[in-house]
Amino acid sequence: MLPGIWAQPDPPLLVRLQALMAFDRDAVVTGHAAACLHFAARPPSGVVDVSCRRRRDRHAGYTFERRWIDPEFITVDNGMRCTGPAMTAIDLAATDDGSTIDTALRQRAVSLEELHRALAATTGRRGHQLRRRVLADSRDQPWSAAERLAHRLLRQASITGWRANHRISVGARHYFGDIVFAARRLVVEIDGWQSHGSAAAFQQDRTRQNALVLAGWRVLRFTWMDLSGAGFVTAVRAALRSR
């Protein structure tokens, strides 16, 4: 696996990371492997990305990058040194169109301020301008790719007065609306299959919508396909004009 370290063929991610720490105690796990540790993301199917202080030879299953990372952005998770949640999300923003940022924000693992600090620490790295654009696109704190697109469409249409993932209190219960126009008592829900496709989510969505409607809120629901044309913006504008 690594010089002086042996394991069974195709070891799981945890074993690969333990081997790495034994090989180089100063190594820092980055990329998708770090995201797996922080956000319970899917383990990387390919190589584990690693940052280290000095140049390393190539080894199957690992990609070594000579890179210094400020200790502020390094955490220890189950004995594994890895980039912290903010730096992990920023690193991956150059290749995943912000999906890890969405996950980190949804899990409340990071704040926008922390993401901006991590971005500032990557100045000069390849992909920095793309990371900067993706983070700018995250300013309204989307929790999914579909929400990110919906936010972009609303901004492009100059529709204001909304907040993303805003808490609404109905009696003793609290609900989060994907996009909330509080002054107009309008909730816009973006239903992605990943978050809303289970039987439990299906029931929860109906229970929540009934509670909101009975409390005087209007609820519009859109799918990913609805966001591909002009219908989304047209419907939101119509709802805002109707009351």
Looking only at the bridges linking them, the beta strands covering 80-83 and 163-170 are unpaired
**Final residue in a domain of this structure, among 136, 159, 186:** 136
Domain count, the chain: 2
Question: Is residue 18 packed enough to be buried (19+ CB in 10 Å), middle (13-18) or exposed (0-12)?
Answer: middle
**Final residue in a domain of this structure, among 118, 136, 154:** 136
Phi, psi of 57 (to 5 degrees): -70, 160
Cβ atoms of 89 and 115 closer than 8 Å: yes
- The per-residue pLDDT string of the chain (243 residues; one tens digit each, 9 = 90 and over) reads 676 677 677 788 888 999 999 899 999 999 999 999 999 878 887 899 999 988 888 888 899 999 999 999 999 977 899 999 999 999 999 999 999 999 999 999 999 999 999 999 998 899 999 999 999 999 999 999 999 999 999 999 999 999 999 999 998 999 999 999 999 999 999 987 666 557 787 888 889 999 999 999 999 999 999 998 889 999 999 999 987
Q: Is residue 5 part of a domain?
A: no
Angstrom distance (rounded) from CA 59 to CA 52: 14
Domain span holding position 203: 145-241
Enter the pTM of the model: 0.88
Angstrom distance (rounded) from CA 153 to CA 228: 10
Instruction: Quick: pLDDT tens for 24-78.
Output: 999 999 999 999 999 987 888 789 999 998 888 888 889 999 999 999 999 997 7
* Cα–Cα nearest to 235, from 174, 178, 188: 188
Cβ atoms of 3 and 23 closer than 8 Å: yes
**Final residue in a domain of this structure, among 86, 106, 136:** 136
Instruction: Quick: pLDDT tens for 166-180.
Output: 999 998 999 999 999
Q: Is residue 172 part of a domain?
A: yes
Same domain, 92 and 196: no
Q: Is residue 1 part of a domain?
A: no
Share of the chain above pLDDT 90, in %: 72
Tokens read off for 213: 């409607």
Q: Is residue 6 part of a domain?
A: no
